[in-house]
Structures are given as C-alpha cells and as structure tokens.
Structure 1
Amino acid sequence: MGADIYLKSKHEPHQALWEPRFNKAVRERDALPRDCYAYTQKQLEVGTIYDEMFSVGYYRDSYNNSSLLNQLNLSWWEDVGPMLDKNGMLPIERAKELRAIIAVRPLDEKRVREAMSGSETYDECLDYFEDKRTRLLTLLDESIELGEPLYMSI
C-alpha cells in the first residue's frame, strides 16, 4: 500500500508507450518455467520495463519506513487527504501549499535512523529521502507550471 500520485498528461502517454513492451515481456516470462535462469532474466526485464513505465509523471510513497511523508512527520491521510477534492485531485493552490511544506520540512533524524537497513549508512539513508523529496517536489512543480492538478490515490 502507498500513495500513488499522477500527473496524467505526462504519465498516461508515457505509460501507453511502454505498456505493449511490458505486456510482451510478461507473456514471454510467463511462458517459461519458473525455476529456470531464463525466467529470472526475463523477470529482470519485466521489472526494468515496469520501472520505465512509471518513470514519468508518477510518484509513489509507500506506507512504511521508506515513506517520505513519514520521515517529515506528515501523513498522507491526515495532512494531504484534506487538501484533495472529491475526485482525489490536488488543486493547484493546494499543490503550492503542499510544495512549500515539503520543501522546508526537516527530515526526522530518529525516523531516518529507524528506516536504515543494516547495510546503509545514515548519510546514504538521508540521501535516499532527499532524492525522494526532490522527485516529489519536481512533480509538484510540473503540476503547478502546467496548471494541471495531480491525481492522488492515498
């Protein structure tokens, strides 16, 4: 589970471009025995294509320790949910407001440390969340610049 955010004018054409390739790779993977090397290789291809399909006009934030909003002591449900209209759209004025909050809100050091896996350093984990912040801010900026509300499934 997580928050899925779409800038439809960017995401939908990009997804449509990659979806046939994704479906083909899935069919090819599914035709292989699961316990063979070729299946594993095809699964890697499926994952790569899937990631590309969702690389434009889309942002996801899981509801776990890897959640950016959690690291900022914010909640998708309590803080962002009330900003959405009845159709799950984030109006431009609210996008500006959310952008301002996310841009200046400090990461919670304790939460960042809790999110660390055994192999990550604190700085690596901090970089991960700053990258997530940058990607979300970029999507909010695009929404504001285009005057296109974001669709949020939270």
Structure 2
Amino acid sequence: MTKFKLLNVALKIFISVLLLGIACQIAILFLLDPEMLEKINSKVPGSMYSAILLTTLLSIGLVQVQLSFASFGRLGYFNLKSSGYLKTGGLTLIFFSLASSVHNLFIISYLSTESILLNFIMYSIILLIGVGLMAVADILAKGEIIERENSLTI
C-alpha cells in the first residue's frame, strides 16, 4: 500500500507540473506579441495549439490513473471504481499516443531523425502503458467479481 501512496504523490506532483506547463503555454499564447506568435507558427505550424491540446490529453489520462491509485487506498485493490478509472486512463493514454504520432507525421519535415526516433519510442511506450492499464483494469474488475462471489460462499 505504501508503494501506491508514493506513486499517488508522484503522480500528483507530475500532474501539477503539467498543469503549470499548460497554464504557461496558454499565457504565452495570449500574452505574446502577434508578430512573435507568427514567427513561432512559421517554424512549425500550429505547434502552440497542438502542444496545449496534447498536454491536456496527457494530463487527463494521468489524473484518471491517479484517481485509481487513490481509490486503492480507500476501497481496496479490487473495486469497479478503480477499474473504471484505469480503463479511462488507459484509453486516454492510447488516444494521446495515437494523436501525438499523427501530429508528428504532419510536422515530420521539421524534425530531426533523432527526434523522430525518440518520439516513436516514447509514443510506443505510452501506447503499451495504456494497453497495460486497460488489461489491469480488466483484471481488477474480474477480481472484484471473484472477491464478491467468495464473500457470498463464506
């Protein structure tokens, strides 16, 4: 249980940093001089908007995973609420990975070969984590059913 508490705290810190980053990106977007924004967008079209959307999507996925870990402490390991949070978080991370990959395909001419390879590896890992979270969510849902059946037979 201590590991989940530590992971819960680490996720809260990471989510806070992501939300601060989103706020800074929005502030830069609206407070910068229009000429400066034009220079930024001329290098990579739509980069500011897509960064905000993708970071928000990642934050939503991590919040769902954090809520699942918080429910482990309150409701125990096998419960449908944690399973639902993990499934939603997994789906969101999968969607983030696919959306980021599509975004990279649009801006591939602006990226170096190293960036393309690193992004591919990172998004593949996030995709696998999302699929893994969905698998764990199914295991938790089945475990909750088995736990309920065991308590009925006793």
Same fold (TM over 0.5): no
- TM-score, normalised with respect to structure 1: 0.36
- TM-score, normalised with respect to structure 2: 0.36
Q: Which protein is richer in strand relative to its size?
A: 1
Q: Which protein is richer in helix relative to its size?
A: 2
